[in-house]
Amino acid sequence: MTKMKYMNYEMNGTIELKNTGRALTGSGFKDWKSKRPRIEAGGLNFTYSLDQFHIHWGLNDSVGSEHAIGSEYYPAELHLVHIREGHDFQSASKLPNGIAVVAVLIEKSHDLIANRFAHIGEEFRKLKHVGNKAKLEKFSPEIMLPWNSEWFYRYEGSMTTPGCEESVIWTVLQKPIAISQDELDLLRELQNEKNVTSRTYRPAQPLNGRRVLAHSEFYYEAYMSGKTSSHASTFLVLVIFFTIFVAV
């Protein structure tokens, strides 16, 4: 697979953050028009436009991500949801490969420079109850990607809507981004529709024989060192779990 291209990710604009009770979402990229962030290449057959992002989290540090690398789960995970160019979410979700989600694992860090949520985190305080919204200006989606976004795992998944087979292409980035303890705590204070705090992740499901492709340094290293590729692929099957995408 070739390298993924992230276009207009360095642009900035206004987005709306919302507590949906099932995640925290960021939307409004459609209004960015020609500045709208897009992805292509990296094994994708189409160009996809950023529709929204959302964050899943757990109530303690050992859980929260919907994917695991090795046996390691992360306290939170970001999903950048892209739809096939020329479609809206509704029509894209009915197409094979209509939706492309880039998943970024979020790790806790005490390194203030590494923290990607300094700008956005203050707004979390306004989102405590379901339906709460906050406008965020000059938001650049670049901060949602790790410095090195080159390495990733790829598999196809499905929507929970009946009749939608394999409509979601998943790209799981190998490198995580960082969040501070303070901002992670603010996320954990967000309430669901029952007015209580809760986890917003879905536990990983076994891969069930799904094929995972990798544009990964692990694979690359195995390949470059002349080892058989079976080592790399066995490793990958073990490390990635299939997860069901939930539209939020």
Q: Which of 190, 194, 245, 234 lies closest to 80, judged by CA?
A: 245
C-alpha–C-alpha distance, residues 81 and 6, integer Å? 13
Shorter beta-carbon distance to Zn ion: residue 79 or 87: 79
- Taking CB under 5 A as the binding criterion, the range among 6-14, 76-84, 114-122, 140-148 that sits at the site for Zn ion is 76-84
Dihedral class, residue 6 (left if φ above 0, else alpha if ψ from -120 to 50, else beta): beta
Taking the complex as a whole, the smallest distance from the CB of residue 79 to Zn ion amounts, in Å, to 4
Contacts with Zn ion in 86-125 (CB under 5 A)?
none
Q: Which residues contact 40 (CB under 8 A, 6 or more apart)?
A: 4, 5, 7, 46, 47, 48
Shorter beta-carbon distance to Zn ion: residue 79 or 84: 79
DSSP string, 107-159: EE-S-TTTBS-HHHHHHHGGG-STT-EEEEEEE-GGGGS-S----EEEEEE-B
Q: Which residues contact 227 (CB under 8 A, 6 or more apart)?
A: none
Residue 84, SS3 per DSSP: strand
- Taking CB under 5 A as the binding criterion, the range among 10-18, 71-79, 117-125, 231-239 that sits at the site for Zn ion is 71-79
Residue 87, SS3 per DSSP: coil
Taking the complex as a whole, the smallest distance from the CB of residue 52 to Zn ion amounts, in Å, to 10
- Taking CB under 5 A as the binding criterion, the range among 74-82, 107-115, 136-144, 234-242 that sits at the site for Zn ion is 74-82
Shorter beta-carbon distance to Zn ion: residue 172 or 178: 172
Shorter beta-carbon distance to Zn ion: residue 99 or 222: 99
Taking the complex as a whole, the smallest distance from the CB of residue 18 to Zn ion amounts, in Å, to 14
- Residue from 18, 67, 79, 84 touching Zn ion (CB under 5 A): that is 79
Which residue is nearest to Zn ion, using beta carbons? 79
Contacts with Zn ion in 139-198 (CB under 5 A)?
none
Taking the complex as a whole, the smallest distance from the CB of residue 113 to Zn ion amounts, in Å, to 27
Q: Which of 147, 148, 117 lies closest to 53, judged by CA?
A: 117
Taking the complex as a whole, the smallest distance from the CB of residue 77 to Zn ion amounts, in Å, to 7
Shorter beta-carbon distance to Zn ion: residue 79 or 116: 79
Cβ atoms 1, 223 nearer than 8 A: no
60 phi, psi to nearest 5 deg: -140, 170
Question: Is 67 a residue that touches Zn ion (CB under 5 A)?
Answer: no
Shorter beta-carbon distance to Zn ion: residue 219 or 241: 241
Cβ atoms 174, 69 nearer than 8 A: yes
Shorter beta-carbon distance to Zn ion: residue 120 or 232: 120
Please report, as ranges, the residues that interact with Zn ion according to CB under 5 A.
79
